[in-house]
Amino acid sequence: MSRTVDATDPQNREAALDTAANAVKGGRLVVLPTDTVYGIGCDAFDNEAVAALLRAKGRGPDMPVPVLVPSWTTIQGLVREYTYNMRKLVEAFWPGGLSMVVHQAPSLPWNLGDTRGTVMLRMPNQPIALELLERTGPMAVSSANISGQPPATNVQMAEDQLGADVTTYIDGGEAHHGVASTIVDLSSGRPRILREGAATTERVAEVLGMSSAELRGDV
């Protein structure tokens, strides 16, 4: 049975977050607000929960699940090498609407899908999400929708699509951006934009000292 908890009321916030954190630690799925769209998430290191997340979305392992982190420093234990470009992007955009595809640390016991040794990382600019992540540690989080359907920008949209597959829905109000994060691939040599979203290509290119055309792979 699913439960919706209200984190918009300061008096209920701690209890709502405790409920959601307990669900995550118990291997169950939760829906949480982020600064872009709502996400469906679980403990990144619970492989059965990650598999349940993919089933809930109607996706296969060929579309791996991203990981949200609560701080800049968290990613240093998750990546093979903390590179100069990673640091530049973290300092410029985190917390915020930019995701990075990077080489993961080889010793990590998670199974996020067919990642080929990479992981997509982001730190959201959303207080409720960050407070939950501080309680749980890194979470595997994908957009809260059935694959191919519109991403949810509020908790009701998520519940309408995902229903009883999710144990706890956190109501955090309307998502701020309503668009997904920008994705930058740092795993294959020259940085490349995989998806344009909340962070502009022009700003990402400026931070990396590249042209927008180079970042898009047009030259």
Q: What's the pLDDT at 155?
A: 97
Q: Note whether residue 211 is domain-resident.
A: no
Q: Note whether residue 36 is domain-resident.
A: yes
User: Average per-residue pLDDT in the chain?
Assistant: 94
Q: Note whether residue 55 is domain-resident.
A: yes
Q: What's the pLDDT at 184?
A: 98
Two tokens at 67? 């990981």
Per residue in 106-153, pLDDT (tens digit) is: 989 999 999 889 999 999 999 999 999 999 999 999 999 999 999 999
Judged by DSSP in three states, 75 sits in helix
Q: What's the pLDDT at 199?
A: 93
Is the per-residue pLDDT at 177 higher than 90?
no
Provide the CATH number for the domain around residue 15: 3.90.870.10
Q: What's the pLDDT at 105?
A: 96
Q: Note whether residue 41 is domain-resident.
A: yes
In angstroms, the first-to-last Cα distance of the chain is 52
The pLDDT confidence band at residue 189, using thresholds 50, 70 and 90, is confident
Look at strands 182-185 and 139-143 and give their pairing.
unpaired
Q: Note whether residue 193 is domain-resident.
A: no
Q: Note whether residue 110 is domain-resident.
A: yes
What distances in angstroms separate CA 146 from CA 111, 184, 193, 211, one per listed residue?
21, 24, 24, 35
The phi, psi pair for 17, rounded to 5°, reads -70, -40
R_g of the chain computed on alpha carbons: 17
Judge whether 122 and 68 are in contact, CB under 8 Å: yes
Q: Note whether residue 153 is domain-resident.
A: yes
The pLDDT confidence band at residue 63, using thresholds 50, 70 and 90, is confident
For residue 147, give its domain range.
3-86+102-178
Quick one: 50 exposed, middle or buried, by C-beta within 10 A (0-12, 13-18, 19+)?
A: buried
Tokens 């109607």 label which residue? 58
Q: What's the pLDDT at 183?
A: 97
The pLDDT confidence band at residue 216, using thresholds 50, 70 and 90, is very high
The pLDDT confidence band at residue 48, using thresholds 50, 70 and 90, is very high
Task: Name the domain count of the chain.
Answer: 1
Two tokens at 215? 């970042």
Q: Note whether residue 120 is domain-resident.
A: yes
Which pTM value belongs to this model?
Answer: 0.94
Strands annotated E in 44-164: 67-68, 98-103, 118-122, 139-143
Measured CA to CA, the distance from residue 205 to residue 219 in angstroms comes to 14
Q: Any alpha helices (H) in 147-211, and if so which ranges?
A: 155-162, 201-208
